[in-house]
């Protein structure tokens, strides 16, 4: 599929999406978000894709939703255009999704990063929710995912001041997995994605689902769901292969069955 506002490619077992509106710092127009969803849909359906990397390129991740597109909107416009519903493919994507963040990840850009499963940040990365400066608040998870990750007080700070935090501080808060020199952010993310993509796909899918469930369910319910998935995986060829390969001292060859 040809896209106008993103670049999408498949490199081995890794799907790569690059947001591509450099003149407006990858501002997230509805069209861009639609293309992002379509590209993720293609990766979802393609069994060759084991994991995906989402990046904004070397300079900026995304400076948020497109303010020019939003300025004159009414609440009814917002509701009927279902601005936030368009973002759903990011959270329903069943394969590991890594964000490779250089420069600004602001507003909706930050929210997209927080929807990913792992975040590799270049040392230039800045994460923030400046919506408050525009007279609004985040609309795609900024007030909900920050407290779950960084705690109430940091969440209050970023949401009430609008000031971004550095890559290093984000790392200290557990918001990003790794900080690397900005020149290698994308390569480091791809390398990690390649390593993850070698793992058994069904186990990856259920591991992702189980970790996400931990943020939404009471402990006993989460543990029960985890156990069911653990037992279920014994029905897969990959479980037999993985355990036999260990015992035979060789690498497992996984099929996603």
Active site residues: 65, 108, 111, 131
Contacts for 219 with CB less than 8 Å, ≥ 6 apart: none
* Contact (CB, 8 A) for 35 and 6: yes
Q: Which residue is nearest to ligand HXC (CB)?
A: 107
Query: Rounded distance, CA 15 to CA 240, Å?
Result: 27
Site for ligand HXC in 114-133 (CB under 6 A): 130-131
- The distance of closest approach from Cβ of residue 124 to ligand HXC in the complex, given in angstroms and rounded to an integer, is 12
Closest to ligand HXC by CB, 16 vs 33, is 33
Closest to ligand HXC by CB, 72 vs 248, is 72
By CB under 6 A, how many residues form the interface with ligand HXC? Answer: 21
* Contact (CB, 8 A) for 124 and 167: yes
Buried b (16+ CB within 10 A) or exposed e, 83-97: bbebbebbeebebbb
Query: Rounded distance, CA 115 to CA 98, Å?
Result: 9
Q: Any contact of residue 252 with ligand HXC (CB under 6 A)?
A: no
* Contact (CB, 8 A) for 178 and 186: no
Query: Rounded distance, CA 102 to CA 60, Å?
Result: 5
Q: Any contact of residue 174 with ligand HXC (CB under 6 A)?
A: no
Q: Any contact of residue 140 with ligand HXC (CB under 6 A)?
A: yes
Among 16, 19, 27, 113, binds ligand HXC (CB under 6 A): 27
DSSP 8-state code for residue 117: S
Site for ligand HXC in 94-113 (CB under 6 A): 104, 106-108
Query: Rounded distance, CA 160 to CA 111, Å?
Result: 16
- The distance of closest approach from Cβ of residue 16 to ligand HXC in the complex, given in angstroms and rounded to an integer, is 23
Per CB under 6 A, the segment of 57-65, 178-186, 193-201, 229-237 that binds ligand HXC is: 57-65
Among 13, 16, 19, 65, binds ligand HXC (CB under 6 A): 65
Residue numbers at the binding site for ligand HXC (CB under 6 A) = 24-25, 27, 63-68, 83-84, 104, 106-108, 130-131, 134, 138-140
């Amino acid at each position: 599929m040809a896209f106008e506002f993103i670049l999408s490619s498949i490199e081995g077992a890794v799907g790569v999406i690059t947001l591509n509106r450099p003149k407006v710092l990858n501002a997230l127009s509805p069209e861009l978000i639609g293309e992002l969803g379509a590209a993720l849909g293609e990766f979802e359906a393609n069994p060759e894709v084991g994991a995906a990397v989402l990046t904004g390129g070397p300079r900026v991740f995304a400076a948020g939703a497109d303010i020019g597109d939003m300025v004159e909107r009414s609440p009814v416009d917002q509701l009927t255009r279902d601005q936030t519903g368009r973002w759903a493919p990011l959270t329903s994507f069943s394969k590991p999704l890594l964000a490779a963040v250089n420069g600004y990840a602001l507003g909706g850009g930050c929210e997209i990063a927080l929807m990913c499963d792992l975040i590799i940040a270049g040392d230039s990365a800045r994460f923030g929710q400046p919506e408050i400066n525009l007279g609004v608040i985040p609309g795609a998870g900024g007030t909900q995912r920050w407290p779950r990750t960084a705690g109430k007080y940091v969440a209050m700070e970023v949401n009430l001041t609008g000031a971004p935090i550095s890559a290093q501080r984000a790392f200290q808060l557990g918001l990003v997995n790794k900080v690397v020199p900005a020149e290698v952010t994308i390569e480091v993310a791809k390398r990690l994605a390649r390593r993850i993509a070698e793992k058994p796909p069904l186990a990856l899918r259920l591991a992702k689902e189980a970790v996400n469930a931990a943020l939404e369910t009471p402990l006993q319910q989460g543990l029960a769901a985890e156990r069911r998935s653990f037992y279920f995986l014994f029905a897969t060829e990959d479980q037999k292969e993985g355990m036999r390969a260990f015992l035979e001292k060789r690498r497992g060859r996984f099929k996603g069955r």
